[in-house]
Amino acid sequence: MESIISKLRNLDAYPKINEDFYSRTLSGGVITLASSILMLLLFYSELRLYLHAVTETKLVVDTSRAETLRINFDVTFPALPCSILSLDAMDISGEQRLDVKHDIIKKRLDSRGNVIETRQEGIGAPKIEKPLQRHGGRLEHNETYCGSCYGSEVSDDDCCNSCEDVREAYRKKGWALSNPDLIDQCKREGFLQRIKDEEGEGCNVYGFLEVNKVAGNFHFAPGKSFQQSGVHVHDLLAFQKDSFNLSHHINRLTFGEYFPGVVNPLDNVHWTQETPSGMYQYFIKVVPTVYTDVSGHTIQSNQFSVTEHFRTGDMGRLQSLPGVFFFYDLSPIKVTFTEENVSFLHFLTNVCAIVGGIFTVSGILDSFIYHGQRAIKKKMELGKFN
């Protein structure tokens, strides 16, 4: 038994030195103190990394299909009334959504930016099931009235009981409404008078769009849009104005849900119009993004980059149609963010590396200083040190 213990004692890689042979120096104390502080700082840094999740980023090809893209927006127009502001969306697949009203809320603002009225956009006037009075009769305010569409009706059963109905019927025909005062419904509702009353007001429009996950655009512009000879145009004659102030403030614009760390470059962007009516263009590159937290919850969202451009020109030209346009395209590459906790073994390995590494380096430095001091002192005693 004693021979086994003796053999184990001979394997000791850490031989002990008798305290009588220790020699403590001032430089050794300073190095010990500095290395201890550094060791504690690095240990604290490593502990923080261990307690907090780290995010791993990967780039993969986006193979998703038949998905939709949700666009959340909140835009303020300080000098454009809500009554003349419309929203259109279209994409390269051919789908068009003109004068979008679903899930859109508008706030009328005074010249100081205070809210005058908040209203949910409607879907048009209610349809009358069995109208008793046909087109061309006197205007009577009752539930059986069936107003004329002034030649834009598709069938005899079509009714235009409001100015908005007539404008919508004209839009479907691709006609412009040049003088609303010639339309009984618009004259009765005071269409032009309402526009004059809202002169100098602003509009805050917010909500969301659910669009196909393909390249497309959506835009805010004055007037009701329609297709004329396959060209997208807006009816601006009805407002009897030569120019529109399209100064705007983008409070928020996101593609998809929020996730930690996302940066939306168009948030709080402000444009002040200094020239006549023109086209504000934002060219957006959307990057699909998947974020997975430590609990395994996954958020399907998007990031985007943007380039801004402003184009001036005559109002009669399509390319200079007054409005704020957002052209978006999708990247074929998807970014995945995955939160992960550092394993305890990894943490323990790093702590051992910190302690052992600093202890070894400080020992080498102390030995170098100690032997250097001794060599200099010996030369000075022999008178050989110059």
Examine residue 136 and state whether it is found in any structural domain, yes or no: no
144: buried, middle or exposed (CB in 10 Å: 19+, 13-18, 0-12)? exposed
Q: Are residues 265 and 348 in the same domain?
A: no
Altogether, the residues listed in the chain come to a count of: 386
Q: Please report the pLDDT score of residue 130 as a whole number.
A: 39
| 325 is a domain residue | yes
Q: Tell me the C-alpha to C-alpha distance, in Å, between residue 327 and each of 4, 69, 95, 375.
A: 82, 14, 15, 76
Could you tell me which of 269, 366, 289 has the C-alpha nearest to residue 334?
Answer: 289
Domain count, the chain: 2
Residue 133 is assigned to a structural domain of this protein: no
pLDDT digits (tens, 9 = 90+) for 277-308: 788 999 999 999 999 988 889 999 999 999 99
Provide Rg for the chain, Cα atoms: 37
pLDDT tens digits, residue range 110-147? 888 888 888 775 433 333 343 434 444 444 444 566 88
Q: For residue 159, is it within any domain?
A: no
Q: Clarify whether residues 350 and 332 are in a common domain.
A: no
Statement to judge: residues 312 and 358 lie in one domain: no
pLDDT band at 236 (very low <50, low <70, confident <90, very high): low
The average confidence (pLDDT) of the chain is 80
pLDDT band at 261 (very low <50, low <70, confident <90, very high): confident
155 lies in some domain: no
Inter-CA distances, 73 with 201, 211, 218, Å: 20, 13, 11
Q: Same domain for 322 and 360?
A: no
225 and 290 part of one domain: yes
Is 234 a member of any domain?
A: yes
Whether residue 46 sits in one domain with residue 66: no
Domain that holds residue 294: 60-122+193-339
Q: Do 283 and 265 share a structural domain?
A: yes
E strand intervals along 213-277:
216-222, 224-228, 231-235, 248-255, 269-271
Mean pLDDT over 229-239 rounds to: 63
Digit-coded pLDDT (tens) for 146-175: 888 877 777 777 788 878 788 778 777 777
Q: Could you tell me if 92 and 210 lie in one domain?
A: yes
- Domain end (from 307, 324, 339): 339
Q: Does 239 share its domain with 361?
A: no
| Residue where a domain terminates, one of 304, 322, 339 | 339
Residue 165 host element (H or E):
helix 163-173
pTM higher than 0.95 for the full model? Answer: no
169 within a domain of the structure (yes/no): no
317 lies in the same domain as 210: yes
**At residue 3, does pLDDT exceed 90?**
no
Q: Are residues 275 and 202 in the same domain?
A: yes
- Residue 305: HSE in the Cβ half-sphere, 13 Å Cα cutoff: 4
5 found inside a domain: no
Average pLDDT over residues 59-83: 90
Burial 238-273 (b: 16+ CB within 10 A, else e): bbebeebbbbbbbbebbbbeebeebebebeebeeeb
Q: How far apart are CA 381 and CA 383, in angstroms?
A: 5
Examine the domain organization and report whether 93 and 37 are in the same domain. no
